[in-house]
Chain A
Amino acid sequence: MGMALDAARGGSGGIAAAGRMKAKHQRLVLGLLALGTVAGAAGLALSALQDEAAFFYAPGDVAGKGLPLGKAVRLGGMVEAGSIVRKPDGVSIAFVVTDGKAKVPVAFRGVAPDLFKEGSGVVAEGKFNPDGSFTADNLLAKHDERYMPPQAAGNMHKTETLDK
């Protein structure tokens, strides 16, 4: 690329105005080609990364591909309405994560973030158990891209769905 541009400039050196115009156009074409190549490279890299760059597994992914047992993974989805059970010890929580396709029961011991609640997004960090349930050692709250005042949110609370 650099060498090609060098050649283009070298060619414009001693010759008349017509030659210079041509070199400029040549560089314009080369520059646009470079931009196209860069975009193409990005596209290829991204499609290769598609699965690897995911931040979390959705319950549906796990149901389709089998459990990633024995390693630390993240499980993300919506906390199913009415599924949160707080244990008498005060720090243990059980709930169900769903993405509309599949459900995974999750057990967690610790402090949940403020935005963790039923019907909203969650990303649990931990491990799958052989029986298909998930033991989390950390919870992250995931909210969606909607922002609104409390009055406007009145009816939306109940109808929230996973945004993907």
Chain B
Amino acid sequence: MIHALANPTRFLKLARPLTPVLFWAGVALAMFGAWAGLTQTPADYLQKESVRILYIHVPAAWLGMGGWTGVAAASLGYLIWRHPLAYIAARAIAPAGAVFAALCLITGSIWGRPTWGTWWEWDGRLTSMLLLFFVYIAWIALARADGERGGDGRVPALFGVAGSVLLPIVRYSVVWWNTLHQGQSIGLTSSSIDGSMLWPLFFTIGGFTLLFAAVVLMRMRAMLATQKVEARMRRMAAL
């Protein structure tokens, strides 16, 4: 499956029609989830209305971490199978992941002020998430510098794999250390968020995830098109 898609022509044939489908489905789900989260759910017994930022904060955190999982997996795939499309995928995912990591930090900060009484504290969860954001920025800068110097992307790919060290740290920071941030609310089979408040979250998580996928496909298609243009320019210059 992955090997079949590693062919750019076959990939484009699938990505071209898939992009608008993912994009509009994502917009619809995210809009519905946000509307439902703002108007159709009860306020929290403790935090009152400010709990509603959850419907943006949680998808942002999920995609901030999911994005790096994608960068690391694509980097590993590139190192092992040497397929250029894997590296293109890593470069397409990184900025989108960085945006969601930033959104997670910003919404968390806004949420922290009324609930905890602080915009920012250096606790394990907040600090490790900020580090993940910095790792994204460093990776983007490194990949760009590598490209400008005519590198083949192996150094950024190694960094992409090594950076995945942060993922379990972010995930388990609230378990290993005592932190200001509360523990995990959503497990694989259970949730400590009451059902009446939980359901719109699935719509925003699903919607933002589809939007993320659409943006990644758009960026990959643009990168492939740029490569094609550059190759053609080189051929014309050689004639």
Contact = CB atoms under 8 A, between A and B. Distances in A.
Interface of A: 1-2, 5, 9, 24, 27-28, 31, 34-35, 38-39, 41-42, 46, 49-50, 53-56, 58, 76, 112-116, 120, 123, 139-153, 157, 163-164
Q: Contact residue range for chain B? A: 35 or more
B77 to A, nearest CB: 9
B177 A147 contact: no
Given A46-B176, A140-B180, A145-B182, A115 B116 contact: yes
Contact of A55 (B76, B82, B177): B177
B116 A140 contact: yes
B18 interface: no
Given A2-B155, A24-B81, A141 B116 contact: yes
Task: Give me the 10 closest cross-chain CB pairs, A-B, nearest first.
Answer: A113-B117, A149-B42, A153-B45, A148-B194, A55-B123, A145-B185, A150-B45, A145-B182, A147-B193, A146-B192
B168 A42 contact: yes
A163 B185 CA distance: 12
A144 B45 contact: no
Contacts of A46: 169, 176
B109 interface: no
Given A46-B169, A55-B123, A143 B194 contact: no
A143 B165 contact: no
Interface string B22-46: 0000000000000000000011111
Interface stretch (B96-104, B156-164, B220-228): B156-164
A38 B169 CA distance: 12
Contacts of B115: 113-115, 141, 143
B137 interface: no
B164 A35 contact: yes
Interface in B55-108: 76, 79-82
29 contacts: A1-B158, A2-B155, A24-B81, A27-B79, A31-B80, A38-B164, A42-B165, A46-B176, A49-B177, A55-B177, A55-B178, A112-B117, A115-B47, A140-B116, A142-B116, A143-B47, A143-B115, A144-B182, A144-B183, A144-B192, A146-B193, A147-B185, A147-B197, A148-B197, A149-B45, A149-B197, A152-B196, A153-B46, A157-B45
Contacts of B82: 9
Given A1-B158, A2-B154, A56-B178, A143 B169 contact: no
A149 B46 contact: no
A149 to B, nearest CB: 3
Given A31-B161, A149-B196, A54 B183 contact: no
B36 to A, nearest CB: 15
Contacts of B81: 24
A16 B218 CA distance: 37
B40 to A, nearest CB: 12
Nearest to B117: A113
A150 B43 contact: yes
B121 A140 contact: yes
B124 interface: yes
A72 B145 CA distance: 43
Contacts of B165: 38-39, 41-42
A164 B43 contact: no
B158 A35 contact: no
Given A31-B80, A113-B117, A152-B194, A123 B180 contact: yes
